[in-house]
Amino acid sequence: MQIGIDLGGTKTEAIALASATVVASRRRIPTPPDYAITLDAIAGLVAALESETGRTGTVGIGIPGVVTHATGLVKNANSTWLIGRPLQADLEARLDRPIRVANDANCFTLSEAIDGAGQGFETVFGVILGTGVGGGIAIRQRIHEGPNQIAGEWGHNPLPWMTDEERGAALPCYCGKTGCIETFLSGPGLELDHVRLGGTRRSSPDIVVAAAGGDPFALQTLRRYEDRLARGLAAVINLLDPDAIVLGGGMSNLPNLPGAVSALLSRCVFSDTVLTRVLLNAHGDSSGVRGAAWLWPSE
């Protein structure tokens, strides 16, 4: 049995799989913003799944950051109470077994590459479009992490082929740079662009509703978002040339996003035909927890 835990910024989910089938109900609890209580919560979820099934499992955990290979300490986590903590060692001692920890965007990508929208494709680039923008790379159903453990982190590259207007509107990012892809393609980035265009301040779902009702500012906001996402992904294709790109995160639910982006890729991709498929995820917000379970091979 493979137990997967998705340690999110606000909620933590757990699932147990056996032979690719869910054998214990998916559990969801609020993430405690405290390190010691987080360890307790994860140990409690593992104990509950093992008690429900009467089996012991391998444990894989997806986190919003990475455990640095050299030091064993968490870095790049927006759940700041994890930063600098020996999460993996502490949980291994607590659970009395080796565990595997990976970045949550990598878990999403692995899940979609193994039995989701990216199934059957050799190289899959997984994209998270949410309150932040992240990504991961799976090659033959294995995560490619890289020595700095940042492979796929395209959200902190500058928006490619910026217009003069975008250059003028570029905002500082929490990472210390200005004009990052994340500042344009996150949910808050889209909402800000809507105001910049002259629209009223609205949430992303409200902008979608307004666009469906014919609001010209909302329509223009969505077209600009699609155009920027296409440019961002064209740069990924020029570098990685993946067989498939799988879109995830809340913003991936914008209407017809994969189709709209596919149609815009050829302007920037260095090839007269673009064979890369842009697809919507298959497992929705379960992909993170499924991919964490897949960090260990199935029996």
Report the interface residues with Zn ion, using CB under 5 A: 156, 173, 175, 177, 180
Tokens for 280, please give them: 């919507």
Cβ-based nearer residue to Zn ion, 186 or 281: 186
Cβ-based nearer residue to Zn ion, 82 or 159: 159
Cβ-based nearer residue to Zn ion, 51 or 148: 148
Cβ-based nearer residue to Zn ion, 76 or 106: 76
Cβ-based nearer residue to Zn ion, 119 or 131: 131
Round to whole Å and give the CA distance between 172 and 102.
28
Between the two ends of the chain, the Cα-to-Cα distance in Å is 7
| Pairing mode of beta strands 142-143, 133-139 | antiparallel
Q: Nearest approach, Cβ of 180 to Zn ion (angstroms)? A: 3
Q: Nearest approach, Cβ of 38 to Zn ion (angstroms)? A: 26
Q: Nearest approach, Cβ of 178 to Zn ion (angstroms)? A: 8
Cβ-based nearer residue to Zn ion, 124 or 173: 173
Quick one: three-class SS letters along 94-132?
A: HHCCCCEEEEHHHHHHHHHHHHCCCCCCCEEEEEEECCC
Q: Nearest approach, Cβ of 78 to Zn ion (angstroms)? A: 12
Q: Nearest approach, Cβ of 183 to Zn ion (angstroms)? A: 7
Non-local (6+) Cβ contacts of 179 within 8 A are 158, 159, 162, 166, 167, 170, 171, 173
Q: Nearest approach, Cβ of 173 to Zn ion (angstroms)? A: 3
Hey, what amino acid is at 253?
N
Cβ-based burial of 217 (10 A; exposed 0-12, middle 13-18, buried ≥19)? middle
